[in-house]
Structure formats: C-alpha cells, structure tokens
C-alpha cells in the first residue's frame, strides 16, 4: 500500500471541484461541517460491473476490455472482490480504505427482479439481452483500487493506493496528488443559471395522484397491504454538467448520506438523509425514515412543526410498520435473537424538512457476507411499504414511470468487510441532458390526499428550485 499526503480541507468539495472531470468519479460524504467524521472519493475503477438484468453482467476493465458474465450479480461481486481478514488491533489504527473499495449503486428496479415482480414500466430494450451495448443497467459498481480519504476528526487527508492497483491508474493518481498539492481555487460554487435548465414538468398529474391514492386506500381497506409508498417524478432538460448541478445541491442541502456517482451512461446526484444498511465490526445497523414536516418560516413555526410531528400518531404508526419490516429483513442475515430496536421515532432536522428516524441493530450471522445483508433487505422497506412485495406490485401498477436509481441504494464495501449504504431519496439522475428527480411518501389508511400530495413536493422542492424553475400545479 502506498499513501500520499494532500492538503486537508473541512469542505473537500473545494479540492474535488478542481478535478471533477475524472471518469467513474464517486464521492461519499456527509455534507461537510462539524457533524462529518470521514468522507472519501475515488475514480478510474479497475473494473466496472453493470448488471443488465436476467443474470447478465457487463464487466468493463479500465483498459476498455469488455466481458459478459452470467449468474447472480452479488455472487460475482463477492468472487471478484474477496474480503481480507484484518487483525483487530491493526483495524483500530489502519484506514479501512487502504486496500481500495468496492462502490456504486443499485437501482430500485433491481428489487423488482429480486422479488420476481414483472414491471409494466421496463421496456423490452431495457430487459432484453439481444443488444446490450446501450442497455440501461439495474446496478453499476466499480472496483476502486485507490481512495482519497478526509478525516475530519484528525483534520488530515490522505490518498491510499492498493498494492494491486494497475500501473496506469497509479500513475494518474500520483499526478492527481501533485495537482491537489498545488494551491486550489477555494471560491464558493456558482449557482446554476436557470436559463440553462428548462422548467420542471411533473410526470404525474394531481388527477392521477388522486386516482392512485384512492386505489391504495381500497387496497388498504381490503387488507392487501398496511402501507404503500407512492411517489411522483419531475423531469427537465439541461445543458448543465453533472458537477455543475451537484455543487449547489451540496451547498443548499447538506445531508449525512450524500453521494455523487458518475457511471458510464448516467450520473447519480444524491443528497440523501437516510442510511440503509451499515456493517461495522460484525454489527448491522439500519435507520429508516418515516414521518415528515417542512421547516418553518421562523423559529416559532419551525418548533410548531416539530411538535406536530413528534405527537403525530399517524406518522409514528407509519414508522413502526417499517421498523417491523426491517427487523424481519435484517434478521435473515443476523445471529438469532440479536435484532433490537435502539431508537424509535427520533426527531432529526435537516435544512428543508424534519423527519422521524428509528434505529435497528443486530449481530451479523457467522459466515454471512456483508453483500448478503444488502441483498436480503433490498430495496429498503421505508420506500416500498408493507408487506414489501405486494406494496411493490401496487407501486408498479399505479406510478407513471419506473423509478430507476431513485429509491435504490448507493453503497461501499471495504476489503475488511465494512459496509455502508443509503436510501436514494432526495436524488437526481442525469442522462443525455435529461434530468429526473422524484419525491413521495407512505400512504396508510388515515392518510389525507392533500397532505400526502403536498408532502411529496415539500421533500424535493428545494432540490428542484436550486436547479430550475418549478411550479406545483393541480
């Protein structure tokens, strides 16, 4: 392992923006500020794994060589990225990124395949294996052999290059280190010019939302489900680059589980507030969000919204349903009897909303791989409803577009078995100048149509307005 020192910045975006053109750039961060502990970025993956569905994975090497592999996607990743046993004493002092990282994102649509749900939204071109050259993947994961880590506790930054990093990538990383050691432009990121992005358009009218809401209410009354997460999508066209869009989002909406991921066909721009699965020292943690209120215009109104959320029986019931679902999901990979709820209905405040967040933990079962935990719980119950499979079938029936990366998960896995992941809410995807962003919420039997419709907009309003004009229409 080779380590290279670089300047430390409390806001690493000041450095990353100088080198943001890198292919395969991925940045996991916590929005900066004193609440952040560590964050990291990398680029130029040694191999990129694109899961095309139906058991087919396209693997592209850094040199551009392409091969197709058949079989389970997660098993392929486990085989190609073996974990290393690390002495506990060494693990306590060494960075988990010294041997690189496996990182990327899983689309929500992958969950449909995992649960054997046929989607009416995925076209033949997206599910067929006849022509795979431009086929949209259900997951994109890179094998990164180097990592630039920022430690905000010790206030230092370092680039780690694994011993098996290809020479060509090592050369580029060394050049990057030299560049980062030069004085950087630390000016504030510029806000996008609204003229370079068209007015946002909703893909779901109020009339259709009302129809979907009423249909879910009928399913609830009939006992098909206890809850379903209904979302809607906004779309725009833009000439902005992925990085030009993401810079102001990070500034306007700092969030603890944010990620930027530039993949071969699209870019994921996420300022997610929600953790999905974390594994540290054989301990599993998941932290679902259910229950939302907007931030107030002043301190008095803001406190009123907080109190309303904390005392809402409806929101607590909605949260509890998902807590129960996730207890079951992680129990599939946990030591029997180890699952417990550590926090229930904890109020957390973000720049645009207040949320109720619960925390569930368990001990990883012996001989269970971290990716097995991710697969068993995917997609996250907080963005499906309960029971999960039936809720997802109803979602596919009623929503007007497929979700893509939205409501999926970005994750990373280190060679010592540490894993962390988010739920891809508060996220945009840019592909060929087409930008999409979605928002939604859980529908239960005592939900109110107007409240739920408005909440779906409140959650993403600040994101949309940061990028382009938007008008909420009935």
Active-site positions? 274, 290
Give Cα 40 to chain centroid, integer Å: 15
Phi and psi at residue 156, to the nearest 5°:
-145, 160
For 212-233, b/e burial (b = at least 16 CB within 10 A) is bbebbbebbeeeebbbbbbbbb
If residue 441 lies in a helix (H) or strand (E), which one and from where to where? strand 434-443
DSSP labels, 185-245: --PPPPPPPGGGBPPPEESS-HHHHHHHHHHHHHHHHHTS-SEEEEEEEEEEEB---HHHH
| Contact indicator for 20, 27 with CB cutoff of 8 Å | no
| Contact indicator for 330, 377 with CB cutoff of 8 Å | yes
Q: What's the alpha-carbon Rg for the chain, to the nearest Å?
A: 22
Maximum distance among all alpha carbons in the chain? 65
The Cβ of residue 200 has, within 10 Å, a number of other Cβ atoms equal to: 21
Closest CA to 88 of 417, 400, 330: 417
| Distance separating alpha carbons of residues 417 and 87, to the nearest angstrom | 12
CA atoms 178, 173, 94, 105: torsion sign: positive
The Cβ of residue 368 has, within 10 Å, a number of other Cβ atoms equal to: 17
| Distance separating alpha carbons of residues 299 and 433, to the nearest angstrom | 39
């Amino acid at each position: 392992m080779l380590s290279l020192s670089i300047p430390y910045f409390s806001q690493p975006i000041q450095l990353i923006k100088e080198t943001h053109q890198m292919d395969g750039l991925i940045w996991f961060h916590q929005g900066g500020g004193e609440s952040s502990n560590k964050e990291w970025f990398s680029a130029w993956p040694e191999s990129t794994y694109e899961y095309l569905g139906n058991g087919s994975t396209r693997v592209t090497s850094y040199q551009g060589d392409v091969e197709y592999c058949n079989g389970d996607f997660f098993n392929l990743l486990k085989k190609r990225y073996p974990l290393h046993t690390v002495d506990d004493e060494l693990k306590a002092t060494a960075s988990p990124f010294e041997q690189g990282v496996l990182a990327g994102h899983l689309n929500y649509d992958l969950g449909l395949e995992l649960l054997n749900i046929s989607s009416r939204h995925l076209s033949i071109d997206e599910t067929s294996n006849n022509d795979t050259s431009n086929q949209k993947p259900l997951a994109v994961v890179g094998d990164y052999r180097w990592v630039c880590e920022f430690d905000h506790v010790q206030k230092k930054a370092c680039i780690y290059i694994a011993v098996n990093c290809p020479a060509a990538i090592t050369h580029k990383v060394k050049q990057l280190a030299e560049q980062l050691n030069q004085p950087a432009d630390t000016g504030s990121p510029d806000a996008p010019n609204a003229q370079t992005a068209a007015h946002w358009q909703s893909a779901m009218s109020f009339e259709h939302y009302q129809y979907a809401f009423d249909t879910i209410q009928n399913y609830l009354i009939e006992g098909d489900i206890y809850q379903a997460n209904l979302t809607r999508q906004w779309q725009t066209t833009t000439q902005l680059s992925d990085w030009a869009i993401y810079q102001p989002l990070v500034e306007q909406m700092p969030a603890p589980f944010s990620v930027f991921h530039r993949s071969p066909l699209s870019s994921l721009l996420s300022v997610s507030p929600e953790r999905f699965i974390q594994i540290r020292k054989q301990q599993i943690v998941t932290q679902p969000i259910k229950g939302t209120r907007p931030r107030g215009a002043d301190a008095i109104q803001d406190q009123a919204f907080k109190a309303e959320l904390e005392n809402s029986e409806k929101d607590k019931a909605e949260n509890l349903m998902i807590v129960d679902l996730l207890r079951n999901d992680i129990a599939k990979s946990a030591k029997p009897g180890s699952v417990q709820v550590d926090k229930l209905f904890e109020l957390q405040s973000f720049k645009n909303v207040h949320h109720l967040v619960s925390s569930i933990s368990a001990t990883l079962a012996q001989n269970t791989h971290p990716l097995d935990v991710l697969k068993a719980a995917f997609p996250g119950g907080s963005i499906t409803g309960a029971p999960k499979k039936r809720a997802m079938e109803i979602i596919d029936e009623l929503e007007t577009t497929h979700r893509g990366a939205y409501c999926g998960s970005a994750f990373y896995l280190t060679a010592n078995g540490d894993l962390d992941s988010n739920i891809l809410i508060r996220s945009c995807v840019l592909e060929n100048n087409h930008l999409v962003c979605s928002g939604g919420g859980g529908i239960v039997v005592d939900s109110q149509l107007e409240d739920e419709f408005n909440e779906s907009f409140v959650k993403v309003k600040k994101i949309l307005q940061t990028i382009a004009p938007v008008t909420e229409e009935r």
